[in-house]
Structure 1
Amino acid sequence: MSEVERSIRVRAFLEQWLSVILIAAVLLAAVGGWWSYQVYATPEVERDEVTVSQWSESTAYDHSSVIVNESLVFEEGERVHNRPVYYVNLAEELDVTYTYEHTAEDGSVDVTTDMRLVYRSVEDDDVLWEYAEPLATGSDEDVTADGNHTVDATVDIDDVFETIATIEQELGAAGTIEIRVVSTSNVEGTLSGQSVSDSYESVMPIAVNQQTLRVLETETIDESGQRTETVERTVGPSGIEAAGSALVLVLGLGTFGGLLFARQNGLVYLSADEREILRIHQQEQEFSEWITSGTFPSEREYEATVLVDDLEGLVDVAIDTNKRVIKDEQLGVSTVLDGEYVYVYVRPDSPAGEWLVNYADTTMAEFEEYDF
């Protein structure tokens, strides 16, 4: 099929379906416009939780003792700090300092602490008995990051052994004796704009025997806190969304405008000759088994050249004479060669149409009236 025939078929399709295509173009443009509106006019909003402030709360123990009996290792009156072991023969008291502090840049808290000395007997993982007595209490208001809350207490070593002896006398000796300095702090206030209300328990365990007090690993608090806010941010359209919506809109508007212009200027309507060419193409497809490409003979070797009105009639001649239709693409003519006669059909778009018509001796209608 030539480019001319392809162009005619395309315009024939547009002529037949023009209204439908125009409606489809309008719908496509509407979809593109709605999509573009959704992309640009109503952008997506993302909400994120953002930490605006952070702080920590912690507790700690310090302990020390004054040497009251001189020895080769320690001098009388010397204070020893944070030792793992304190010797009963050298000291009478164990001084304990409990500290609570926080790091919040803004805000303050009120802190109240109760310290108690807890006695217990442990066997494997079982606690056989437990007894507690108060050591000290303390409270501070408006504790900021620049300060802290402290409570001091003193553990009398002789009293510890006297209490243990009394309990063992009443209950009998069993298990391993431990004492624990337990501090319970109640914290109320506001830190970095965040309201806090917590209770913390810290423990300093001590293993005791007749010669030593051994301070074990303390159980203190190291808590972190934060204040968050919900932040909204507008998310711009992705490149695919932006390009896709614009492309659909432009494609719809361009198609509609182009077809409207073509219709108003008659560019989609076929002329009579073009309709004939289209009809010929359809007939060529229908009768393709009777048509062969070839070249129109340039020399007059026949008794008569008969001009046929249409391709269908020429195919009828080929059927009647049991011949083939020879189609000359370049000249735009189809022929049936039958002995002394040549039957010719000239396409409307033939570049030599006038010459070919004049070349003919008679028309098919005239030919059928006479007996040659």
Structure 2
Amino acid sequence: MSDIDQSLRIRAFLEKWSGVFLAVLLILAAIGGWWSYQVHATQDVEREEVVVEQWSESTAYEHSTVITNDSLVFEEGERVRNRPVYYVNLSRELDVTYVYEHTAETGSVNVTTDVRLQYRGVEGDTVLWQYAEPLASGRNDGVTNEDNHTVDAAVEIESVFETIRTIERQLGAAGTIEIRIVAASSVEGTLAGQSVSEAYESTMPMTVNPQTFRVLEMNTVDESGQQTETVERAVDPGTVETVGSILLFLLGIGGAAGLVFAQRSGYAAVSPEEREILDIHQQEQEFSEWITRGTFPSERDYEATILVDDLEGLVDVAIDTNKRVIKDEQLGVSTVLDGDFAYLYVRPDSPASDWLVNYADMTMDEFREFDF
């Protein structure tokens, strides 16, 4: 008899562990269902700060002078604007306009500004002294993005040189004298729903000599603001979570249904005869050292045959009689030959089972006289 059919092994294994497999598959289905519910029914919510409005605040200087003395280059009465250099011999004063504005679409502010002319004595990065003269001031209430806040001032050139000469006469010529226009603004109000309370300072530095006024790089304000809102939005689950949860659920449900079907249809069931074959195989493996494979003869020289109920019993006979177990693979028969007796075990699936069971106790002469 050849080795046990692989399908029988599989069915026996499934029958033995079917309860465990069913429990595991149902647990997988429950996990997959819970995971899928969490993915689709309870989506994560992401909170994000979103800018709903932006605005800016800025200040600037505009400067100009009217030519009072005619020259080959400039005509008398001409106004020159925002030049880097103004000539002392051609003008009497420098006109300066300070501007504050914002771009917020909603809201307004009240702006108050004081403009002064500041003199400083410096030596390297050290300020030795400082003196300021007021030039102008102004206030505007309810400044929106459609208008601005401006303050006009005028710097008399001769007055500047007179102040410098006075300071040098009083203090001496220590260090370098710098002049600059300083505008200090106070801004109060609401822009785009946001409360605003700021103090800004903008400067326009200059260097002077008996021939020119030079406007240097200005230090002005360019501030930005924004209004934000917290927005909640559902986060779409990833592909792995979506597909993985469904596949796990289907695997558990499909596997459990398939196992139950296999049990009820008999595919995973093992008959008593098949179970006996499995037991025999196990016993053959256990007692393999007592079993010798051979071929059952077509004729026998023994007067009596004793049928043994199971292989284990046949092996016991072999042990007691100190004989070998002879196994015929083709017929599925195992025997122990001892003197006048043949101890015989016939597998349930033996092709010679009917003949051996019904006629094995006959003598050969009796068997030959029998009419089949």
Residue 147 of structure 2 is matched in structure 1 by: 147
Cα deviation for residue 163 of structure 1 reads 1.4
One-letter amino acid of the structure 1 residue matched with residue 129 of structure 2: W
Residue 168 of structure 1 is matched in structure 2 by: 168
Residue 99 of structure 1 is matched in structure 2 by: 99
Whole-angstrom CA distance in 2 between matches of 1:60 and 1:338: 123
Residue 3 of structure 1 is matched in structure 2 by: 6
Cα deviation for residue 303 of structure 1 reads 2.2
Cα deviation for residue 241 of structure 1 reads 1.8
Cα 1:142/1:307, change in 2 over 3 Å: same
Whole-angstrom CA distance in 1 between matches of 2:112 and 2:291: 110
One-letter amino acid of the structure 2 residue matched with residue 211 of structure 1: Q
Whole-angstrom CA distance in 2 between matches of 1:4 and 1:288: 23
Identity of aligned residues (%): 62
Whole-angstrom CA distance in 2 between matches of 1:159 and 1:271: 124
Between stretches 1-10 and 23-32, larger displacement belongs to 23-32
Whole-angstrom CA distance in 1 between matches of 2:186 and 2:281: 98
One-letter amino acid of the structure 2 residue matched with residue 183 of structure 1: A
SS at match of 1:315: helix
Whole-angstrom CA distance in 2 between matches of 1:82 and 1:327: 120
1:281-319 deviations in Å (ceiling 9; x for gaps): 321332344557x6755x514324664322223434555
SS at match of 1:313: helix
SS at match of 1:6: helix
Residue 54 of structure 1 is matched in structure 2 by: 54
Residue 369 of structure 2 is matched in structure 1 by: none
Residue 42 of structure 2 is matched in structure 1 by: 42
What is the aligned counterpart of 1:300 among 276, 298, 301? 298
2:240 matches 1:247: no
Residue 13 of structure 1 is matched in structure 2 by: 16
Whole-angstrom CA distance in 2 between matches of 1:98 and 1:325: 121
Output the TM-score relative to the length of structure 2.
Answer: 0.83
Between stretches 1-10 and 212-221, larger displacement belongs to 1-10
Whole-angstrom CA distance in 1 between matches of 2:356 and 2:336: 15
1:15-58 deviations in Å (ceiling 9; x for gaps): xx62x555444444433333232222211111111112222222
**Aligned alpha-carbon RMSD (Å):** 3.0
Cα deviation for residue 184 of structure 1 reads 1.6
Cα deviation for residue 259 of structure 1 reads 5.1
Whole-angstrom CA distance in 1 between matches of 2:313 and 2:350: 18
One-letter amino acid of the structure 2 residue matched with residue 113 of structure 1: T
Whole-angstrom CA distance in 2 between matches of 1:180 and 1:246: 75
Cα deviation for residue 60 of structure 1 reads 1.1
Residue 33 of structure 2 is matched in structure 1 by: 33
Contact 1:327 1:335 in 2 (8 A): yes
One-letter amino acid of the structure 2 residue matched with residue 178 of structure 1: E
One-letter amino acid of the structure 1 residue matched with residue 298 of structure 2: R
Output the TM-score relative to the length of structure 1.
Answer: 0.83
Cα 1:53/1:350, change in 2 over 3 Å: farther
Residue 369 of structure 1 is matched in structure 2 by: none
1:322-368 deviations in Å (ceiling 9; x for gaps): 5465362xx57143575998765332234553345346347xxxxxx
Cα 1:260/1:9, change in 2 over 3 Å: closer
Whole-angstrom CA distance in 2 between matches of 1:200 and 1:296: 114
Residue 346 of structure 1 is matched in structure 2 by: 346
Cα 1:237/1:347, change in 2 over 3 Å: farther
One-letter amino acid of the structure 2 residue matched with residue 184 of structure 1: A
Cα deviation for residue 208 of structure 1 reads 1.4
One-letter amino acid of the structure 2 residue matched with residue 76 of structure 1: E
Cα 1:327/1:152, change in 2 over 3 Å: farther
Cα 1:250/1:59, change in 2 over 3 Å: same
Whole-angstrom CA distance in 2 between matches of 1:33 and 1:76: 92
One-letter amino acid of the structure 1 residue matched with residue 5 of structure 2: S
Residue 280 of structure 2 is matched in structure 1 by: 280
1:208-252 deviations in Å (ceiling 9; x for gaps): 122211100111112222211111111122222223323333344
Cα 1:122/1:351, change in 2 over 3 Å: farther
Unaligned runs of 5+ in 1: 363-372
Whole-angstrom CA distance in 2 between matches of 1:289 and 1:166: 130
